[in-house]
């Protein structure tokens, strides 16, 4: 199967979304989780048909989306949702806040930094305090730290699975252990699984709610087609529960939670889950090619740089502390190399001296970004830069 080509650069520069409008045209934008691929043809066709029909009203109380997602989940992950309750809302972040407002977090919500920066803001929006249980260097859960937090009174954890920024899909063993801890301490697991469809060919995504009876008793999952098929602006996400107690909580949510769903988001998501897998697999081939290119080039040209190689998603977590680019290396790289990366400190403790790189782009654009960063390090004449200059 062929790789998926990115849209032409002139088309990308004409986009008005954040990635391509935030910075001047001389900057290569690799900071925010938007993809550079053209819209999947089945999705574009479904949206065009909706516009032609004037199908732009409120979202209906019943849509084909739960069935479309359930079928996708069985095909992709072997996840049976026959007994689950699935409802929509505008986006995963909104769904997280609505859940956090209604579950008991006890002495605080456990977060696992370095982690997706809005998690901290969502906790604040929901009015709950945060307890940190840092990840391992590879992205796996520190179950001892999580149990300590539960033992000290925390009663909820916001899980990122696959983890952002590490691109790490948590294992069945780890998720089962987490579920047993949550069950033992009466805690709730809210699992953000937005990157799940982007799991690479050499990895396996395990849905939290699929691992055990304990996971279904203790958990909620949130999914969306927005990340995998680049649909964030269309506003649609799924809230999922699979236990009598958790189903009842979803059923009791205010009707406005579902009504905030975008009509175009539902239409596009149904098309994605029903007819978008070929496009997705082609996109993943390009992302995996870029992943291997990034790891290989940095190993050869900036060998002191450490990359947490992602196995899900299109975001790479890179430790550049050895390059002497200052406390906020992303700022230095933006100013002097004209490449925009996400700064590591946004992700909480453990993000110092790191940057996050977006790999959902044309391989040539990634090469140019790496060229610019290597040239910056060489020009500064320190660390890898001195070694690279000596070899050239």
**Which tens digit of pLDDT belongs to each residue from 322-372?**
999 988 999 999 999 999 999 999 999 999 999 999 999 999 999 999 999
In the predicted model, what is the mean pLDDT of residues 304-321?
A: 97
DSSP-assigned letters across all residues of 95-163? HHHHHHTTS--BT-EEE-SS--THHHHHHHHHT--EEE-PPPTTS---HHHHHHHHHTTB-EEEEESSB
Nearest-angstrom CA–CA distance, 91 and 251: 18
Task: Specify burial of residue 368 (Cβ count, 10 A radius: 0-12, 13-18, 19+).
Answer: middle
How long a stretch of residues is the chain? 392
User: What are the structural domain ranges in the chain?
Assistant: 9-38+277-391, 42-275
Q: Hey, do 9-38+277-391 and 42-275 end up sharing a CATH topology, with the first three levels equal?
A: no
Which residues are registered as beta bridge partners of 160?
Answer: 192
| Fold for the domain defined by 42-275 | 3.40.640
194-225 per-position pLDDT tens digit:
999 999 999 999 999 999 999 999 999 999 99
Structural tokens at position 82: 């026959």
Assign 384 a pLDDT band (cuts: 50, 70, 90).
confident
| Contact in structure between 215 and 209 (CB atoms under 8 Å) | yes
Confidence of residue 88 (pLDDT cuts 50, 70, 90): very high
> Which pLDDT score, from 0 to 100, does residue 327 have?
85
Q: What is the predicted pLDDT for the residue at 390?
A: 45
The dihedral region occupied by 338, where left means phi > 0, alpha psi between -120 and 50, and beta the remainder, is left
91 or 382, greater pLDDT: 91
What's the pLDDT band for 93 if we cut at 50, 70, 90?
Answer: very high
Q: Is 326 left (phi over 0), alpha (psi -120 to 50) or beta?
A: left
User: Which DSSP symbol is given to 28?
Assistant: E
Tell me what the pLDDT averaged over the chain comes to: 96
Indicate the CATH number of 9-38+277-391 among 3.30.450.20, 3.90.1150.10, 3.40.640.10, 3.40.50.720.
3.90.1150.10
Specify the pLDDT at position 137. Answer: 82
pLDDT exceeds 60 at position 304: yes
What is the model's pLDDT at position 383? 59
Does residue 110 surpass a pLDDT of 80? yes
Predicted local distance difference test score (pLDDT) of residue 138: 81
Residue 296: which residues within 8 A CB-CB, separation 6 or more?
A: none
Q: What is the mean pLDDT of residues 167-171?
A: 98
Among 30, 93, 134, 34, CA closest to 342: 30
Q: What is the mean pLDDT of residues 75-85?
A: 98
d(CA 134, CA 146): 9
pTM of the predicted protein model: 0.96
Close Cβ partners of 214 (under 8 Å, ≥ 6 residues apart): 176, 179, 180, 182, 183
pLDDT, tens digit (0-9, with 9 covering 90-100), for 252-288: 999 999 999 999 999 999 999 999 999 999 999 999 9
State how far the Cα of 288 lies from the Cα of 123, in Å rounded to an integer.
33
Picking from 336, 230, 263, 272, the residue whose alpha carbon sits closest to that of residue 6 is 230
Strand duo 130-132 + 156-160: pairing: unpaired
For residue 392, the model assigns a pLDDT of 45
pLDDT at residue 381 tops 90? no
Question: Which is nearest to 141 in space by CA: 191, 177, 192?
Answer: 177
Give the model's pLDDT for residue 1. Answer: 66
């Amino acid at each position: 199967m062929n790789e998926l080509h990115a849209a032409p650069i002139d088309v990308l520069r004409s986009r008005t979304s954040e990635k391509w409008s935030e910075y001047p045209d001389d900057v290569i934008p690799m900071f925010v989780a938007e993809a550079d691929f053209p819209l999947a043809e089945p999705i574009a066709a479904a949206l065009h048909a909706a516009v032609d029909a004037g199908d732009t009203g409120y979202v209906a109380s019943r849509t084909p989306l739960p069935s479309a997602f359930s079928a996708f989940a069985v095909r992709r992950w072997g996840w049976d949702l026959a007994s689950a309750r699935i409802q929509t809302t505008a986006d995963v972040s909104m769904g997280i806040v609505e859940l956090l407002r209604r579950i008991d977090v006890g002495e605080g919500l456990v977060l696992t930094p370095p982690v997706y920066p809005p998690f901290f803001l969502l906790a604040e929006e929901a009015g709950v305090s945060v307890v940190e249980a840092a990840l391992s260097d590879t992205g796996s859960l520190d179950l001892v730290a999580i149990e300590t937090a539960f033992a000290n009174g925390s009663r909820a954890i916001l899980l990122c699975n696959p983890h952002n920024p590490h691109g790490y899909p948590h294992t069945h063993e780890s998720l089962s252990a987490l579920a047993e801890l949550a069950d033992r301490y009466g805690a709730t697991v809210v699992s953000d699984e937005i990157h799940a469809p982007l799991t690479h060919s050499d990895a396996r995504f395990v849905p939290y709610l699929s691992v055990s009876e304990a996971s279904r008793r203790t958990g909620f999952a949130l999914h969306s087609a927005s990340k995998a098929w680049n649909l964030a602006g269309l506003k649609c996400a799924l809230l999922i529960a699979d236990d009598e107690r958790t189903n009842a909580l979803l059923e009791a949510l205010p009707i406005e939670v579902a009504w905030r769903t975008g009509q175009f988001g539902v239409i596009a998501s149904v098309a994605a889950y029903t007819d978008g897998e070929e496009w997705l697999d082609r996109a993943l081939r390009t992302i995996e090619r870029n992943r291997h290119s990034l790891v290989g080039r940095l190993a050869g040209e900036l060998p002191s740089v450490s990359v947490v190689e992602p196995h899900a998603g299109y975001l790479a977590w890179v430790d550049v502390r050895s390059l002497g680019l200052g406390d906020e290396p992303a700022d230095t790289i933006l100013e002097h190399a004209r490449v925009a990366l996400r700064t590591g400190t946004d992700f909480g403790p453990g993000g110092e001296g790191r940057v996050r790189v977006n790999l959902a782009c044309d391989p040539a654009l990634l090469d140019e970004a790496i060229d610019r960063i290597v040239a910056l390090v060489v020009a500064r004449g320190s660390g890898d830069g001195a070694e690279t200059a000596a070899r050239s």
